[in-house]
Amino acid sequence: MLPLRALCRNGPSIARRLPGVQLARFSSSGSNVIVAVDDKTGVATMQLNKKPVNSLNLEMLTDICINLEKLEKTAKGIILTSAVPNIFSAGLDILEMYQPKPERLPEFWKMVQEMWIKLYGCQLPVIAAINGHSPAGGCLMSICADYRIMAQGNYTIGLNETKLGIVAPTWFKDTFVNTVGHRVAEGALQQGTLFSSEQALKVGLVDELVPMDQVQARAETQMKSWLKVPGTARATTKSMMRQETIDKLLKKRQEDIDMHVVFITSPPVQKMMGIYMENLQKKSAK
């Protein structure tokens, strides 16, 4: 690892706008998100660090958003990766959705949207260094990047929502279609396919595979190539490719929140989540 410096002096002012939000503590192993910036290159590495599986709850999503907002002003590129062994992120935290507090659920969903808007629309080049499993929301974060490097081995990636009896939001779908095309997206979203890393490479869900211990180094090398391109032209081009997809959500953001609150709190979905959690507890009890 190259020498790093802590980031985010303007953190508190942003956090104040998000009431009830835990501040990310940078370069601290106790934090949900560890951010470090290479002094020489300006490249930030943002490590997801919420054990055991980097589940995305309201606080975690807020930390990610705060850091993205800061880095967009201060860094030159972002490598998105995990500090938790063998897991990139397990996706949205089911505890936010199972028997949720009525006033918290819309806030949670708004922050899921916010994370997607900020990450997919990030003006910096973002490279996902996928160093472990990456289902559901973990896959979403990966496909928000500009380039995906995944660890070889028994790791999986995909939008597997249907397997749990739920449906990926339309904007997860749009991002996925933009990445793998309509036919592959349609089959995989219906079946809730978790692709092995080799399959993911084949369908274009990731761009390259390297051994686990080379994922970070390879991401840094790849980032160098992106940073050779004049930044304003590159960022404008990125907007040209993605803003239309982002605008689709922005135009119906509250509607999307309302719809997901109704869907998540509906008895059949709550029941399925209950069964799912029971199974999880049985597994962990073994």
Question: Is 137 part of the annotated catalytic residue set?
Answer: yes
Using CB under 8 A, pick the residue from 178, 196, 265, 270 that binds a second copy. 178
Q: How far is the CB of 160 from a second copy (least distance, A)?
A: 10
Residue of 32, 49, 67, 160 marked active site:
160
Strand 195-196 vs strand 147-151: parallel, antiparallel, or unpaired?
A: unpaired
Residues 189-228 that bind a second copy (CB under 8 A): 189-192, 204, 207, 225-226
Question: Is 161 part of the annotated catalytic residue set?
Answer: yes
Smaller CB separation from a second copy, 62 or 160 = 160
Task: Mark the segment that binds a second copy (CB under 8 A) among 85-93, 159-167, 211-219, 253-261.
Answer: 159-167
- Give CA–CA dist 152/174, Å, rounded: 27
Using CB under 8 A, pick the residue from 37, 111, 124, 185 that binds a second copy. 185
Nearest Cα neighbor of 153 from 231, 195, 212 is 212
Which amino acid is it at 127? I
Q: How far is the CB of 17 from a second copy (least distance, A)?
A: 30
Residues with Cβ within 8 Å of residue 255, at least 6 apart in sequence: none
DSSP H or E stretch at residue 75: none
Give one word for 45, left, alpha or beta, with left for phi > 0 and alpha for psi -120 to 50.
Answer: beta
Q: How does 153-191 read in b/e, with b if 16+ C-beta sit within 10 Å?
A: eebbbbbbbeebebebbebbbbbbbebbeeebbeebbee
Smaller CB separation from a second copy, 21 or 124 = 124
Is there a contact between 7 and 25 (Cβ–Cβ < 8 Å)? no
CA distances (Å), origin 47, targets 63, 121, 186, 206: 11, 19, 31, 19
**Length of the chain counted residue by residue:** 286
Question: Is 92 part of the annotated catalytic residue set?
Answer: yes
Smaller CB separation from a second copy, 63 or 161 = 161
Smaller CB separation from a second copy, 212 or 272 = 272
Phi/psi at 47 (5° precision) = -100, 125
Q: Is 170 in the site for a second copy (CB under 8 A)?
A: yes
Q: How far is the CB of 232 from a second copy (least distance, A)?
A: 7
Task: Mark the segment that binds a second copy (CB under 8 A) among 8-16, 47-55, 128-136, 188-196.
Answer: 188-196
Residues 100-139 that bind a second copy (CB under 8 A): 125
DSSP assignment of 92-108 equals E-GGGTSS--TTHHHHH
Residue of 92, 105, 124, 189 marked active site:
92
Q: Is 267 in the site for a second copy (CB under 8 A)?
A: no
Question: Is 160 part of the annotated catalytic residue set?
Answer: yes
Smaller CB separation from a second copy, 173 or 253 = 173
Which amino acid is it at 100? P
Smaller CB separation from a second copy, 48 or 219 = 219
Query: Which residues are known catalytic residues?
Result: 92, 137, 160-161
Which residues are near a second copy by CB under 8 A?
125, 146-147, 161-168, 170, 173, 177-183, 185-187, 189-192, 204, 207, 225-226, 229-230, 232-234, 236-238, 240-242, 268, 272
